[in-house]
Structure 1
Amino acid sequence: MKRFVLAVSALYMFAHIDLARAQVVGFDPSDYGRAQLPLRQTTGDAVAFIDQNKGAFEPIAELDPKDALAALARPIGRIDVVLRNTRTGQTVGASCTGTLLPGDYVLTNHHCLPQAGELTPVKASILMDYLTLDGRGSKRFEIDARPAEFDARLDYAVAKAAGNPTREYGTARISGEAVPATRSMLVIHHPLGRPKVMSRFRCFAMKDQPGDANLHHRCDTLGGSSGSLMFDGSVAGIALHKEGGLDPTDPSSYNSATRLAAILKHSRILAEIAGEQVAPVASTKAPTPAPASSNVLDTNQMNSILRGR
């Protein structure tokens, strides 16, 4: 157990991300390739929180497959990585969230597929349609452990997937649109490596923003949520979640993401994808997401009501 914790800790020493805030979840590398990742260390009450508080983490499995939000969630999967310490030879597993984009690219955080330091990705994959603990109906696709593009400062990585997963699961739409303060948002992710959920209850951009590439938000996440796209009312990804930091006793606390507007200025691949996308791309098995005017992220203006508006 001690060796496992040290290996996980080493993952972040070079990633420009605070260890206590980064949201990768570790697993035993011998479990790589399994849908359900056994919990081999103490997790406190986090698992019970997910199971019991479905108002904060809403299971995608409970949505009607024809629902616009179910379609929005379809290109999002769990990224599993095995990393090797180049100095000691020890391996460790880590799980994040990733999103399919045109060209069979997968977008996630750089600290999920690190390209510097002692830990190097040995193999990686994305598990699609992981909706229930038994993994029934899920499907795994290998992804290149060496991303086609990456940047540690902006904390993003774009890796190629094998097996043409976008043919079955479609792709997400990304946008460099500005994110104003108090914008309602939604995050679809795999907290603790568990089945896919969404966070939309009181999920919005903070009123006070740092004024750079970072976006401060109040959307609930946990370890494993790193690399998840943040969507706005136009059902386009506008930020890439990367760090935790919310404190239930501190209303001024926040989680952190990187604005897609900043990433698109740096990434040739993502800029080309965003420029070519004029409408959400859905697979033949998924319905087209709702248009922007429906604002599916703020049902009955609930977020506005909760903020006293």
Structure 2
Amino acid sequence: MPANRRKNGIGLPAACLLSSVTLAAPAQAQTVGFDPADYGRAQLPLRQTTGDAAAFVDQNKGAFEPVAELDPKDALAVLARPIGRVDILLKNTRTGQQMGASCTGTLLPGDYVLTNHHCLPQSGELTPLKVSILMDYLTLDGKGSRRFEMEAKPIEFDPRLDYALARVAGHPGEIYGTARLSGGEIAGNPSMLVIHHPLGRPKVMSRFRCFAMKEQPDGPDLRHRCDTLAGSSGSLMFEGSVGAVALHKEGGLDPKDASSFNSATRLNAILGKSRILAEIAGQPGRPVAAADPGKPSAAPAAAAPSGPPASAPLDPAGMNAVLRGR
């Protein structure tokens, strides 16, 4: 495990893109930057001189499976529908500079979007000015995608657990469905699945050798070996038929170090902090020790969760079991 694991937060666009292609770097919050002039576009041009990060993704297709290639009726395609790309226009309150950042977010009942707090920061010099979620972004040209405006200030957030819950306009959940959250414990090192927008690119899945680490720390953090890149921050992690069990937040995998890992927050810890999310998940909230306070909602409102049935196959034909030599 790298001794200097840390979360860098959102930096300048060029720095974000540079960090996204350096797999052996220390753990970083996985937002991806873009030119603020491109806010609102489906395809985010890569305007940097450090190398074409999009080419890096193209050269490593084995790690990411395009959701666009799935049959729309496939259980995995249904599972992926409520997941979109969260685009943020940020302002540095000290310098006045504006910048763009991209994360991943998920539609929930009650017209909410769940993502990371560091994607919608509520402290420090960076302040979100405009936020939206781009749904059904499956191909580079953005054909068929649709954008929904979000509130720039989350209705709930917690820096330690690194989650933010924000309102979204236009009732996108009625079109794309909503995710099913689970407060269940994660036992052993199960195979997992991540659906995300790495580098702000079209939606993909990570499931090749994607699993929780055997050795886990005490507390809310979950260590995992699922491939991600900048832009993957805020993506849900799914386990088998249980549903979403964690919220991805940081990179840190080193291809030369089998003990390295990426990091997520266990949803049972987040549900214990959030009254709104606990009601969405259908279970009472529980206090979480040593969690930094966020801003709770005064009146949670949630519809019944939708999405795939509990038996949706997230690991067809035992794919991860085969890849792990079982």
1:193 corresponds to which letter in structure 2? G
Asked whether the equivalents of residues 111 and 171 of structure 2 are also in contact (C-alpha less than 8 Å), the reply is: yes
Is the Cα–Cα contact under 8 Å of residues 221 and 264 in structure 2 kept in the other structure? yes
Aligned CA RMSD, in angstroms, stands at 2.2
Equivalent position SS for 2:165:
strand
Q: CA deviation at 1:280?
A: 5.8
The answer to whether the 8 A contact 1:149-1:159 is kept is yes
- Residue of structure 2 aligned with 1:156, choices 156, 159, 163: 163
Q: What TM-score do the two structures reach when normalised by structure 2?
A: 0.84
Deviations 1:194-245 (CA, angstroms, capped at 9, x unpaired): 0000000111000111121000000000000000000111151100000000
1:304 aligns with 2:321: yes
For 2:168 and 2:136, the matched residues in 1 are separated by 16
Identity rate, percent: 73
Are the equivalent residues in 2 in contact too, given 1:126–1:143 (CA < 8 A)? yes
SS in 1 for 2:54: helix
- Cα distance change on mapping 1:120 and 1:164 into 2, 3 Å: same
Amino acid aligned to 1:308: G
C-alpha change, 1:250 and 1:120, in structure 2 (3 Å) is: same
- Equivalence for 2:292: none
Q: TM-score, normalised by structure 1?
A: 0.89
Residue among 143, 166, 179 paired with 1:172:
179
Tell me if structure 2 keeps the 8 A contact 1:180–1:205. no
CA distance in 2, matches of 1:155, 1:78: 17
Tell me which stretches of 4 or more aligned residues in structure 1 moved more than 6 Å.
7-10, 276-279
Asked if 1 retains the 8 angstrom alpha-carbon contact of 2:27 and 2:262, the reply is no
Give the deviation of 1:300 after TM superposition: 1.9
Mapping 1:2-81, distance limit 5 Å: 6=12, 21-42=28-49, 44=51, 46-81=53-88
In the other structure, the counterpart of 1:281 is: 306
Match of 1:128 in 2: 135
Structure 2 residue ranges without an equivalent (≥5)? 1-9, 17-24, 284-301
Instruction: Give the structure 2 partner of residue 230 of structure 1.
Output: 237
Question: Structure 1 stretch 68-77 or stretch 226-235: which is displaced more?
Answer: 226-235
Q: Is the 8 A contact 1:188 1:198 kept in 2?
A: yes
C-alpha deviation, 1:87, in angstroms: 1.7
The aligned amino acid for 1:196 is K
Q: 1:7 Cα deviation (Å)? A: 7.2
Shift of 1:20: 5.2
Cα distance change, pair 123–19 in 1 and its aligned pair in 2 (3 A)? farther
Using the alignment, how far apart are the partners of 1:92 and 1:281 within structure 2?
35
| SS of aligned partner of 2:104 | strand
Residue 306 of structure 1 and its aligned partner are, at CA, apart by 2.4
- CA deviation string 1:51-77 (max 9, x = no partner): 243331000000000100000000000
CA distance in 2, matches of 1:116, 1:184: 35
Matches within 5 A, 1:99-114: 99-114=106-121
Q: Secondary structure at the match of 2:129?
A: strand
